[in-house]
Structure 1
Amino acid sequence: MSKIKLLLDVVSDMRSLADSIQAVCDAMVENEPTDADKKPAPAKETEEKRPAKPEVKEVKLEDVRAVLAEKSQAGMTAKVREIIQKYGATKLSEIEPKHYAAILKDAEGLIDG
C-alpha cells in the first residue's frame, strides 16, 4: 500500500472520529434537562378518556448519530460505514430521515468481531 493511500485512510479515520465526537457531544447536550422538562404538564380533567393511540416516536438524526458513534468507538467503524452505504450515502447527513429507524435497527444488530 502506498504512503499516500495510508495517509488518506488516516484522514478518513480522523474525520470519522471527529463525527463520532460531535455526535457524543450533541447527545450529551440533548440529554441535559431544561426548565420545560422539569415542570409536569397540567392534566385536563374535563377531557373524556380515550383509548391510547400507539405513538410512533420520530427518530432524529442526532439519535442515529449517537448510536452509530458509539458503535464506531467500539471498533465497528467499517460496519457503521457499510450501514450508511446500504442506504446510498457516504455520510450520515446524506440519508433521508425516513430511513433513520431502519438504521437504528441495523445498528442494534452489530456485533463486534
Structure 2
Amino acid sequence: MSDPSHWPKDLPGSATDAVAFLVRSYRHRHDGIASLDDEGLRRPLGAKGGPYANNAMGELITHNPLPLCPLQPPRRPPHPGELPLFSTEPLQPLALHLRRPVPQA
C-alpha cells in the first residue's frame, strides 16, 4: 500500500526539522487511526488496499506496527569505556507507546 503522494516533497534539512517532521507524521497517523470507530476498523480497505482490498483497516494496523514507530535505536554494544550513543534497553511494547500522549510539535 505504498502511495507516492504520501512521501514528503522535501526532506528535512536539519535535525530540528527532522524531529518536527517526525512529530507531524506521527500525529497524522495517530489521529487517523484514533478517528476510526469499530465499523471503520472492520471495514475492508477496498481498492486503495490493492492486494489487501478484502482485509480490514484493523488488520493492517495490528499487522504492521513499523509506521507507528519508524525509528528504532541501533543495537550496537559500546566499546569499553564508551557511552552508548542510543539506549540499549529493549523497546517498549507498541501498546505502551499508543497509550502515551502524542508529542506536541
Instruction: Return the TM-score normalized by structure 2.
Output: 0.31
Instruction: Return the TM-score normalized by structure 1.
Output: 0.30
**Greater CA radius of gyration, 1 or 2?**
1
Q: Determine which structure has the larger helix proportion and give its number.
A: 1
Higher RCO structure, 1 or 2 (CA under 8 Å, sep 6+): 1
